[in-house]
Structure 1
């Protein structure tokens, strides 16, 4: 009878390990390979899409300013007016010179036409006809010269109104009304910047970029996405994504970095030229990476990473892995795990190499036994009920 009672009491319980305790229940996941993006975060600075310095092309005193500082201007819109008096007089003079040249040319042509039949009849010397014809042609050339001078004078007169070369936001006026503007001056009258869209120039180590290109060429990783996200200097995220446009073909000798340029929409002018930002994008994708919850990856005193696996005979096995980055709530394991390994993600407290475990999928619900009869009669036995629930 004692033997039968002992057999019945042991029915439905787990076999204890060598220490006399039942094996600890642990939750595990099955390692699966997947394509995991390789994200990078680069520091960058915003750059205006277009920048134009408003410069005078003629010399004169500024008479008027037509824009409001800090406003948006359109291409061709007048910004300054330079005193046009001298240039208007130059146009009038060029027109008069052109009229005189035309009159001279008409007289020379009539004279050449009259000499032609006389020269054929030898009534005049043929040399006289040749001279008259040359004078007529010279007069026509003078017409062309004076016409070109008139065009130049009109262009200079048009330049007395300084237009906006591009559309964008104009800054402060660097010259006031009454100041002398010169076509050879060093400073511009004002600066216009187009900020929608806007560029972000990012700096990446040339060594990292070379290593990435080598891995892409060898097929170790796949090309990533060109979509870029921005983090402002204040820590806030910029709401609109951008795209990578190109990377420079030369390395900055002073920093050893390569410049990558991204383009972002900026309809509200939230991004201003010269701002420091952080750019984040997926530069490549690792097709053979394994995602493991971060709590399953533990660290040794030297910083190396390891995970606990369900080994043969339901024994805990410690395995060193390479996990240098994260993706969301998971660690990205690039070495040390194989497809199909059972990675323990629950019940890791106090778990050691060779410990007997009872593995269950981490998605399985936890089984909690009801309290025994008589254990919870009133509020004074609350502590006992908690102990019973753990059996």
Structure 2
């Protein structure tokens, strides 16, 4: 009996303990839920405080602060490079090419041997001419002796006047024979020298167009090699006659800045970069092409590093006029159309459109001659972000080439942060 009462008390105690535990657990869960709701409410209140007034932070835009300057308006024209001097190596005597004496593509000096032609025949001719000279000199010596011997005898009437005159004539013939023999030696020596074909000018020699064993003849159309002088180089440009006349007038009026008395020329390479050495205009053809109405003008450009090559097509910047009180802005800052416009940051920090006049180009910039004033802040980058945010005010930041990718990211940071906070707020609301 006692045992049954004890068991009953233990059951009551166990049930009571379980009830207490459940109550404590429920209390703790409620406190945690209340704490979470409180934190969510604080976060929402904070977000409301940050967005108070419904205006997002002013986006950052890249600007250039313009100042007036004197700029040169240039025109880009196609051109072709030409070597300053070019020579074709040809044989002056006939024979078999025995040896090539140069390395293809190397620099050769004027007079340097390039080919050796078989000169056996010419050496023999030279020896024959020398022998003829010796014979003529011997004949002259005998004629001189006869004249010297006959002169006193004719005065003494020991020999006739006719014999003396014949001796004098023989002397003169011998003298002429000596001169002829000397000329024959010179001619034979020239042929021997020509058998060694040399470079007519200094420059870079190209491909060898004949090989050893080839028979060549004087006067043949066969070219043995070509030599080009590449420093400086000629730049042949074609331009309309009207533009050339206008440029000459600008030069006469002093509206084009001259360099050492000539018009400066800038060469643009295939990749769009400027060749580091400036050229100069040297002449304009006085004749206009009747078919095209264009004039050929020529510039000269240094080529100390042999970057430029003959026959290469390039573009050149040719100055047209100098414009004072003009402004230079990047091309991406200007909206081209019937009326060219830019956006500027006004004194109140807002964006304001401004109509401008574009008068030329300088590389990747436009030259503006009307519509801007000194100190204007022209927006170059970040305009699309500011437009999407419908910002009434912007924060100008001085723009430098290469940082255009950074500023849109900075401007979109508040939006990214807001998007990142939305899932968290939604999760807290579900809890």
When the two structures are superposed, what TM-score results if normalisation uses the length of structure 1? 0.68
Correspondence for 1:77 among 112, 131, 135: 112
Q: Give the secondary-structure state (helix, strand or coil) at the position aligned to 1:129.
A: helix
Match for residue 275 of structure 1 among 312, 328, 333? 312
Query: Which residue of structure 2 aligns with residue 244 of structure 1?
Result: 280
- Distance in 2 between the 1:333 and 1:202 partners? 28
Preserved CA contact (<8 Å) 2:82 2:310:
yes
Aligned twin of 1:192: 227
Give, in whole Å, the separation in 2 of the partners of 1:307 and 1:341: 15
TM-score between both structures, scaled by the size of structure 2: 0.63
Q: 2:300 aligns with which of 257, 262, 274?
A: 262
Q: Which residue of 1 aligns with 2:142?
A: 107
What aligned pairs does 1:303-318 form with structure 2 within 5 A after superposition?
Answer: 303-305=338-340
Rate the CA distance shift 1:123–1:287 in 2: closer, same or farther, 3 A: farther
Equivalent in the alignment of 1:57: 92
Structure 1 portions without partners, runs of 5+? 1-27, 310-315, 350-357, 364-378, 381-391
In structure 2, how many angstroms separate the alpha carbons of the residues matched to 1:164 and 1:308?
A: 64
Say whether residues 1:325 and 2:363 are aligned partners. Answer: no
Q: Is the 8 Å Cα contact of residues 265 and 299 (structure 2) preserved in structure 1?
A: no
Deviation, structure 1 residue 175: 1.9
- Give 1:98 shift: 0.5
Measured against aligned partners, the alpha-carbon deviations of 1:161-188 in whole angstroms (never above 9, x if no partner) come to 1122233332222222222111110121
Q: Distance in 2 between matches of 1:202 and 1:138?
A: 63
CA distance in 1, matches of 2:164, 2:217: 51
Per the alignment, residue 369 of structure 1 pairs with: none
Which has the higher mean CA deviation after the structures are superposed, 179-188 or 206-215? 206-215
Offset, 1:89: 1.0
Unmatched runs of 5 consecutive residues or more in structure 2: 1-62, 345-350, 385-392, 399-420, 423-431
- Cα distance change, pair 43–93 in 1 and its aligned pair in 2 (3 A): same
Greater CA radius of gyration, 1 or 2? 2
**Quick check: 1:226 aligned with 2:226?**
no
SS in 1 for 2:358: coil
Give the whole-Å Cα distance in 1 for the aligned partners of 2:86 and 2:155: 68
Does the CA-based 8 Å contact 2:143-2:168 persist in structure 1?
A: yes
Q: Is the 8 A contact 2:234 2:300 kept in 1?
A: yes
CA RMSD of aligned residues (A): 4.0
> Are the structure 2 counterparts of residues 87 and 257 from structure 1 closer, same or farther at C-alpha, using a change threshold of 3 Å?
same
Indicate if the aligned counterparts of 1:293 and 1:345 stay in contact, CA closer than 8 A: no
Matched residue, 1:203: 238
Instruction: Tell me the residue number matched to 2:43.
Output: none
The structure carrying a bigger strand percent of its residues is 1
CA distance in 2, matches of 1:328, 1:276: 19
| Residues 1:169 and 2:204 aligned together | yes
More helix by share: 2
Residues 16-70 of structure 1: CA distance to partner in whole angstroms, max 9, x if unpaired? xxxxxxxxxxxx9999753211222221222223322111110111122223333
- 8 A Cα contact 1:65 1:177, kept in partner: yes
SS of residue in 1 equivalent to 2:269? strand
Deviation, 1:228, is 2.1
2:25 aligned residue: none
